[in-house]
Amino acid sequence: MSRQRPADETDESGPLDAFRRFFALERDVLVLSLAMFAFSLGFQMTNRFLPEYIVALGASGFVVGLFGTVGNIVSAVFPYPGGAISDRIGSRYALTLFGLISTLGFGIWLVAPNIGVITVAGVTVQPWIWIFVGLLFAQGWKSFGLGATFAVVKQATDPSRLAAGFASTETFRRTAFLIGPVIAAVLIGFHPDFTMSFQYVLAVAVVFGVVGTVAQHLLYDAGADSIGDSFAGVAQITRDLREMPEPLRPLLVGDTLVRFANGMVYVFFVLVITQFYEVGFETTVALAGVSYGVDLSPAAFFGYLLGVEMLVALLSMAPASKAAERVGLKPIVALGFAVYALFPIALIGGPEVLTPVLPLPWVMVLVFAFSGLRFAGLPSHKALIVGPAERGAGGRVTGT
């Protein structure tokens, strides 16, 4: 794994190295960030549109809800075995494996419409079933790789710089959150049939998956990978929970409560914009002496609101990680948790308070900009998790 260079050598580095020094100091963290960008771009190009894709393949609203539930279960269950595999075989090979699995999932989503309706042992299998199958694979990097990515940053970064190291990976990932849906929107406009146009999106996601996997496998230096013990199954999970570092216990409780609360309302945010407020965005933009009318539907406006949210997240992560080095990790994490709690209140109550002085669309821009601050604490949150972990067990602790 990359070693920190002497100060005189560091001073002679170029602009890219200055970028690396600011965010993480280590090559492995930069490589991981680039791979994370590629996979996150694939996820963000596809994830927002999968419910419509499922409906286009003949599924009902109940199936769409079930898909969301399965996705949450997979996200909760996969990180532990993923972290255990990473601790056992090393981060480089683990991330390569997870990257290939995830790319296969994108591929299954791509070919699902072409499989059609099939009958197996008298049971009819609808095309949307393959979206569930693909989900189990596509979550390979996002969930299996969670523990491995945490372990890489912990191994490659000085303990005092953990928040900055995680800020690097999180910034790349959130950049993909910002531009992924925009790329998907452009590709979807290439064909009037949504199923066909979304297959274009999935094909590009497969390409990003291949590029991300190959790049991190070739560029990542596994020379100092820490290898833990073999996975002992359920007994090891029980032991890890029992032996969890004391500082992590209250964080686990708080994180669980925040995730539970967010899960109750998260899927309804789009409905608040499109059905409750029915708010779009209409204005005129003058460019080079020519006026252009901008008329966004509520659904399209929601996409731009997500862009505002991610832009604020990107702008706030690095300063927040710097602040964490001065005031400690816990206050920054608490700030992020507070925004999680207050955002639903702001979304419902904010317009009533602010519409006398601001048009409703601009109120929503402010509310979603506020929501972006909840991501400012993510790098510190991750650093707080892996900081107390023993070397060789960072992936398992994260998964736990």
For 117-139, the pLDDT digits (tens) are 888 888 888 999 999 999 989 88
Residue 125 covered by a domain:
yes
pLDDT of residue 165: 58
Closest CA to 9 of 30, 25, 29, 31: 25
Q: Is the pLDDT of residue 394 over 80?
A: no
What tokens appear for 246 in the block?
Answer: 């004391």
Residue 70 covered by a domain:
yes
Residue 210 covered by a domain:
yes
Structural domains counted in the chain: 1
Residue 4 covered by a domain:
no
Across 6-15, 306-315, 366-375, least confident range: 6-15
* Tens-place pLDDT, residues 233-258: 455 556 656 656 666 677 777 777 88
Cβ neighbours of 319 (radius 10 Å): 11
Residue 8 covered by a domain:
no
Domain with 282, as residue range(s), is 17-399
Residue 3 covered by a domain:
no
Domain containing 25 — which CATH number?
1.20.1250.20
Residue 111 covered by a domain:
yes
Residue 90 covered by a domain:
yes
